[in-house]
Amino acid sequence: MNAYETNAPKLTRRSNRRRGAAAVEFAIVLPVIVLLMLGSMEMGRAVMVRHVLEEAARAGCRIAVFENATKQDVLDIVDTSMSAASISNYTVTVDPDPPQNLTAFEAVTVTVMVDYADVSWLSSASFMSGSSITGLCVMPAEGDGANDPDSTDTPTGKKNKKSKSKSKSSGKT
């Protein structure tokens, strides 16, 4: 017998014991890793939904700041944004309600809110139960020029209208 043959049983027993220890360590660590992965996915989902809500609120606020906008116009654009993201059971708040007859630079607020349980990927997300996610946008109302002391023109209700004489004198075609 040589030296290698006498040590062979010892090495085999040691590697078998090590494999058993690795299996026990893995069994202890696996639930923690799974919990962290699922928590990360849920938090990512919450951040994504909040972004969608903020974009829907921003779209609604862009409509609400115009002179002749109605609350239904705001609700329609928010509904379009939310249905594109496949989110339902949300609430929309517009302040002032209705967003009409606003003075220039008056604050207009659109809030879109959804319960976390309605958008959660995990059905048993008890750590966030009873919570809601909110998207909010505040913009100044657009004026029609009626409050401009230097203006002698009758307000038209049109925004950002360039006169033809200005575009010709600046050399643009």
CA 39 → CA 28, 44, 131, 156, 168, distances in Å? 18, 8, 16, 54, 60
The pLDDT score that the predictor gives to residue 57 is: 94
CA-based torsion, 35, 38, 44, 48: positive or negative? negative
Provide long-range contacts, Cβ within 8 A and 24+ apart, for 92-95: 92/60, 94/60, 94/64
Reported as a single tens digit per residue, the pLDDT across 162-173 is 444 454 444 554
Is the pLDDT higher at 121 or at 65? 65
* Mean pLDDT, rounded, for 148-166: 50
Residue 42: name the closest of 138, 128, 102 by CA: 128
Domain ranges of the chain: 21-147
Reported as a single tens digit per residue, the pLDDT across 125-134 is 566 667 889 9
Laid out side by side, the sheet with 132-140 consists of 90-95, 107-115, 132-140
DSSP 128: G
What is the CATH topology of the domain spanning 21-147? Pantoate--beta-alanine Ligase; Chain: A,domain 2 (3.30.1300)
Q: Which two tokens stand for residue 41?
A: 């996915």
The pLDDT score that the predictor gives to residue 59 is: 92
Can you say how many angstroms the Cα of residue 158 is from the centroid of all Cα atoms in its chain?
A: 31
Reported as a single tens digit per residue, the pLDDT across 72-126 is 989 999 999 999 988 888 999 998 877 777 778 888 899 999 988 888 877 765 6
Q: Is the N-terminal amide bond of 99 cis, ω within 30° of 0?
A: no
What's the count of helices (H) and strands (E) in the chain, helices before strands?
Answer: 4, 3
* Mean pLDDT, rounded, for 1-23: 63
